[in-house]
């Protein structure tokens, strides 16, 4: 992923109002992100537990999506559907996104199970390991794992549009 600016991020959101995109917290450490190892930029909202954001590069430019997830409660080991990493104790959450356009205004949303820390790109590259879980045992080359993360995320974004 190429480095992005705050302005790029704010203008990319497809499932929230321009006012909401203007007010959302943008990471302050953009210059320190491992851009070469990222397939998408993901971060949590420090002022609103249960809210996070992702920005994904696509052919037509950046696409930003606001997500929500449940905090607290009993958590069991689960597998991320994006990078296939298994986490224990709440390391995977059901991330839900309001759909874009009229469908989203009517209250429709979609969801998928993702790493709660949004570090799928790093798990796929084996640059990060889950604290108590483990990575799916497979014989895929790193390029294939990276392609899977991108394909799975593209499919999720397509569902937000749909």
**Which segments of 12-141 does DSSP mark as H helices, in order?**
18-23, 101-105, 120-124
Q: How far apart (Å, rounded) are the C-alpha atoms in residues 32 and 146?
A: 21
Query: What are phi and psi for residue 44, nearest 5 degrees?
Result: -95, 155
Predicted pLDDT at 136: 63
User: From residue 56, how far is each of 38, 40, 41, 144 by CA, in Å?
Assistant: 10, 5, 7, 18
pLDDT at 133 (0 to 100): 58
pLDDT of residue 135: 63
What is the mean pLDDT, run by run of 10 residues, along the chain of 162 residues?
A: 96 94 95 96 94 94 95 76 88 94 92 95 92 70 94 95 80
Question: What is the pTM for the complete model shown?
Answer: 0.90
User: What is the pLDDT, as a whole number, of residue 154?
Assistant: 94
Q: Where are the domains of the chain?
A: 6-161
* Residue 134: predicted pLDDT: 61
Look at the alpha carbons of 27, 28, 29, 35 in this order and tell me if their dihedral is positive or negative: positive
What's the pLDDT score for residue 89? 80
CA angle 135, 98, 71 (to 5 degrees): 50
């Amino acid at each position: 992923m190429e480095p992005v600016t705050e302005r790029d991020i704010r203008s990319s959101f497809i499932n929230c109002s321009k006012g909401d995109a203007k007010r959302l917290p943008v990471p302050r450490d953009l210059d320190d992100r491992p851009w070469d190892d990222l397939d998408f930029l993901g971060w949590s909202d420090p002022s609103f537990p249960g809210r996070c954001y992702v920005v994904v590069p696509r052919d037509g430019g950046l696409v930003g999506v606001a997500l929500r997830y449940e905090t607290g409660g009993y958590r069991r080991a689960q597998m991320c559907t994006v990078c296939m990493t298994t986490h224990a104790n709440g390391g995977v959450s059901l991330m839900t996104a309001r759909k874009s356009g009229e469908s989203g205004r009517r209250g429709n949303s979609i969801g998928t199970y993702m790493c709660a820390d949004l570090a799928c790109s790093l798990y796929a590259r084996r640059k990060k390991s889950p604290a108590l879980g483990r990575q799916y045992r497979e014989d895929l080359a790193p390029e294939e794992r990276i392609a899977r993360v991108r394909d799975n995320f593209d499919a999720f974004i397509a569902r937000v549009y749909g």
